[in-house]
Amino acid sequence: MSQVMRSLLAGAVVVFVIALALRAVFASEYLWAWDSVLYARAIADFDVASGRPHPPGYVFYILLARAATLFTGEANAGLVLVSMIAGAATCAAGFLIGARIFGAAVGVLAAAILIADPLLWHYSEVAYPYTVLAVLSGSVGALLWRSRGGGAGRALAASLALGLAAGFRQDLLLLLGPMWVWALAGRSPAAILGSAAALALGCVMWLAPSAWSSGGLERYVAVTASQVAGVSSIGGSEPQGFRENALMIAIGLRWQLHWLVALAPLGAWVLLRRADGRRALWPLALWMTPAVLTYLVFHIGEWAYTLSVAVPLALLAAVGGTALMQGARSTIVRPAIAVAIGAAIVLNAHSFVLGTGRFSARAIEGHDDGLAIRFAEYRARFPATDTVIIAEGGYQHARYYLSEYRTFYVPSGSKVTRRTLEVGPEVRRAMLFLGEPRAHPKTKTRTVALGNGVDIHYVPLERRSRLVVLDGYVAVEDD
């Protein structure tokens, strides 16, 4: 290993340690969302066909989280530890890739951009796999880029890495597939066949245990196909789906750069003007464009999906920022530009650390505090023996954290005209978990104000009352 490479690896370790130390302060204490609960359940009992977790299962991610949980002793803490390590590794990958391809200055700036990235930072603190998506997309994408025109060994290694990475996030096959094809272009048929075999071998490594633990390959494929069909934007509401997805993509990409957003198009323009830069712009486009097009077609439901392009996006911004500083000939202007870029990076970090937006430490704290208060008050005020919980978006949280209560899932706006909930004569109240779903306008609702903006809403029941669902509303009927 050359001295330069050893220096770059040492720098990547420093970046990783700094990023991890910053993230260790803000870890969430409760599972973040519906899917987070499914991941937690899968740690104990993996079965994709039964929704532990949802298809396609991410078996390597679950195994990694299971190992982390052995260390932390609790599922949420294990999942968050994986998120934090993957988020810090994304920052280190940005430094190493940027320094190898564009030079040390770009690597350092890309690392700083990623460390302060509000979206990446936020999802490094919660039980979600999107920082894993970020680091794998960045690392495997770089391997594919490096394998282009290299020896057969590089192509085999990159192909195997892509197949294995899909065991953590199967969507990587779709996102990096075009880049894989580009990396193999011009090779001999034997080399292409060998790389395809390496990719297939990597996929078999996760497909076999996923299918086996889910009741067989046929069952696994069926539930996965159903999941894919369910999130497609193509259908009767296609225009609305595309608009919503485009907005979500724009928000996700904007929040990754935030105050530095103008540097990305500047970086693309700088590369386009240079002959050597155009050779780099094409793989960067292949790295990012398939993700954007994929997210237009599917209901992604999370801004964090855009973290699949966190590394190439940071590289573009870093190229733009470096060119802006190096292009200033004045000894006064150049430091001023550097200070302005540094200030924007600090503002990005401020948005997460001290901000009040959706991607901030305060949002995570509010989520945790709201759940903690509700769980404590439910148990203190409303015994499980005479209380049931009605939930929608928080259904999985209620089942996981309040398992002693019976919980009913009632989606708002349900097309079911009328449905009776079998609650039993001993039940005296139905809690509307997180204020959802809504009680029927003609049904009495009581509220317990706990302060800090947290309220508990419930519907009281008499001994001869029936609890029913009317068009998505919870209602009480008396005999």
DSSP for 433-470, please give it.
GGG-SPBPTTS--EEEEEETTEEEEEEE--TTEEEEEE
Strands of the sheet with 465-470, listed across from one edge: 419-421, 465-470, 473-478
Residue 237: its pLDDT value, please?
44
If asked whether residues 213 and 84 sit together in one domain, one would say yes
The residue ranges of DSSP E strands in 359-442, in sequence order, are 387-391, 406-409, 419-421, 429-432
22 within domain boundaries? yes
Residue 2: its pLDDT value, please?
83
372 within domain boundaries? no
Structure confidence at residue 416 as a pLDDT band (50, 70, 90)? low
If asked whether residues 318 and 398 sit together in one domain, one would say no
In three-state secondary structure terms, 412 is: coil
Q: Read off the pLDDT of residues 219-234 as tens digits, 9 standing for 90 and up.
A: 888 888 877 766 655 4
The alpha carbon of residue 475 and the mean position of all alpha carbons in its chain are separated, in whole angstroms, by: 36
For residue 71, is pLDDT > 70?
Answer: yes
If asked whether residues 38 and 95 sit together in one domain, one would say yes
The alpha carbon of residue 427 and the mean position of all alpha carbons in its chain are separated, in whole angstroms, by: 39
If asked whether residues 351 and 392 sit together in one domain, one would say no
Q: Read off the pLDDT of residues 93-130 as tens digits, 9 standing for 90 and up.
A: 999 999 999 999 999 999 999 999 999 999 999 999 99
477 within 8 A of 466, measured Cβ to Cβ? yes
367 within domain boundaries? no
Mean pLDDT over residues 18-30, rounded? Answer: 97
If asked whether residues 305 and 444 sit together in one domain, one would say no
420 within domain boundaries? yes
If asked whether residues 58 and 154 sit together in one domain, one would say yes
If asked whether residues 240 and 350 sit together in one domain, one would say yes
CA separation for the pair 261, 52 (Å, rounded): 38
For residue 240, is pLDDT > 60?
Answer: no
470 within domain boundaries? yes
- Per the listing, tokens 């094409």 go with 282
Structure confidence at residue 462 as a pLDDT band (50, 70, 90)? confident
For residue 417, is pLDDT > 80?
Answer: no
If asked whether residues 320 and 424 sit together in one domain, one would say no
134 within domain boundaries? yes
Domain stops at, among 361, 392, 415 = 361
CA separation for the pair 429, 425 (Å, rounded): 11
Domain stops at, among 361, 395, 423 = 361
For residue 412, is pLDDT > 60?
Answer: yes
Q: pTM (2 decimals)?
A: 0.94
Q: Read off the pLDDT of residues 183-206 as tens digits, 9 standing for 90 and up.
A: 999 899 999 999 999 999 999 999
If asked whether residues 391 and 327 sit together in one domain, one would say no
CA-closest candidate to residue 90, choices 256, 277, 294: 256
377 within domain boundaries? no
Residue 478: its pLDDT value, please?
79
CA separation for the pair 394, 432 (Å, rounded): 10
Q: Read off the pLDDT of residues 73-88 as tens digits, 9 standing for 90 and up.
A: 999 999 999 999 999 9
126 within 8 A of 26, measured Cβ to Cβ? no
pLDDT exceeding 70 applies to what percent of the chain? 96
In the chain, how many domains are there?
A: 2
The two most distant CA atoms of the chain are separated, in Å, by 85
How many residues would you count in the chain?
479
CA separation for the pair 214, 225 (Å, rounded): 14
Calculate the average pLDDT of the chain. Answer: 92
If asked whether residues 177 and 275 sit together in one domain, one would say yes
If asked whether residues 351 and 452 sit together in one domain, one would say no
Q: Which domain, by its residues, includes 287?
A: 3-361
Residue 101: its pLDDT value, please?
94
395 within domain boundaries? yes
Structure confidence at residue 239 as a pLDDT band (50, 70, 90)? low
Q: Read off the pLDDT of residues 296-325 as tens digits, 9 standing for 90 and up.
A: 888 778 899 999 999 999 999 999 999 999
Neighbouring residues of 474: CB distance < 8 A, sequence distance ≥ 6: 390, 410, 430, 432, 437, 438, 439, 440, 443, 459, 467, 468
In one-letter notation, the amino acid at residue 432 is L
For residue 413, is pLDDT > 80?
Answer: no
Q: Is the dihedral of CA 187, 192, 194, 200 positive or negative?
A: positive
If asked whether residues 398 and 333 sit together in one domain, one would say no
Domain stops at, among 298, 330, 361 = 361
